[in-house]
Amino acid sequence: MNLLPLPALLRRHHRPVLMVGVALSIAWALVWFLAGASLPGPQWLQAQQQDLLGLVHAQPLSAGLGFFLVFTLMSALALPGCGLLALGAGLCFGWLAGTLLVLVASTLGATLSFLAARHLWRDAVHRRWGHRLRRIEEGLARDGAFYLFTLRLAPVIPYAVINPLLGLSSMPTRQFFGVSLAGMLAGSAAYVYAGTTLAQVRGWGDLFAPGLMAALLALALLPWLVRAAWRRGS
């Protein structure tokens, strides 16, 4: 298991991710063009938002706690849908509260995955693949916590892989939690902000509002910005 330098990881993984994103955008545009009248429109989105806001306003603590527990569980199990939940946090809880909920829940979920790998699988993995894990230790010794911080900013490796992998390393739990919390702040804030802009949608044209486009552009450019900063610092 060779731990590649971060610039190589960014070059290796970002292009496929970008191609997939472009392909999904084209497919979405084609579906919209071919069956636009039958797709849920902004009025449907507003109706769903009002239902959710009614629940949040009626029972704010229960709604917040329920969202937090669901997001933490999905993050710990690396289940798909966390991005949609982050958008929903912006719709229901606003930017500040939604960002705090998403950030802490995603970090706690990642830490639970980290601890499960460390305490349940560590001995067995070390007995079988200890020689490969030494390379991971060397990578952490070379770049330290900054390596994890940069991977959190630009998730070129899935969280489902990063979290248990670092659980098998010598990184302290407090350091993993703190670095993950700081590294996932930008992505969490951008997703939740995009969710808050959805609350202002009144027609199809509002989907291309400057605020929403800026949030999506920030998410798309983040890996490139991290790569440029890494090159400048090295």
Check whether 113 has a pLDDT greater than 70: yes
Residue with the larger pLDDT of the pair 135 and 10:
135
Q: What is the DSSP letter of 121?
A: I
Phi, psi of 8 (to 5 degrees): -65, -40
Residue 2 confidence (pLDDT): 44
Separation of alpha carbons 207 and 223, rounded Å:
24
Instruction: Give the Cα separation of 186 and 86 in Å (integer).
Output: 13
* Averaged pLDDT of the chain: 75
Higher pLDDT: 165 or 15? It is 165
Per-residue DSSP letters for 137-202? HHHHHHHTHHHHHHHHHS--S-HHHHHHHHHTSS--HHHHHHHHHHHTHHHHHHHHHHHHHHTT--
Is the pLDDT confidence value at 229 over 60?
yes
Give the residue, 52 or 26, on which the prediction is more confident. 52
pTM value is: 0.71
Predicted pLDDT at 41: 53
Q: Which helix (H) or strand (E) holds 48?
A: helix 42-58
pLDDT digits (tens, 9 = 90+) for 1-30: 444 555 554 455 445 445 545 554 555 555
pLDDT for 71: 96
* Rounded Cα–Cα distance for residues 102 and 23 (Å): 28
What is residue 17's predicted lDDT score, i.e. its pLDDT? 47
Length of the chain: 234
Inter-residue contact 46 to 201 (CB < 8 Å): yes
Is 93:56 a contact under the CB 8 Å cutoff?
A: yes
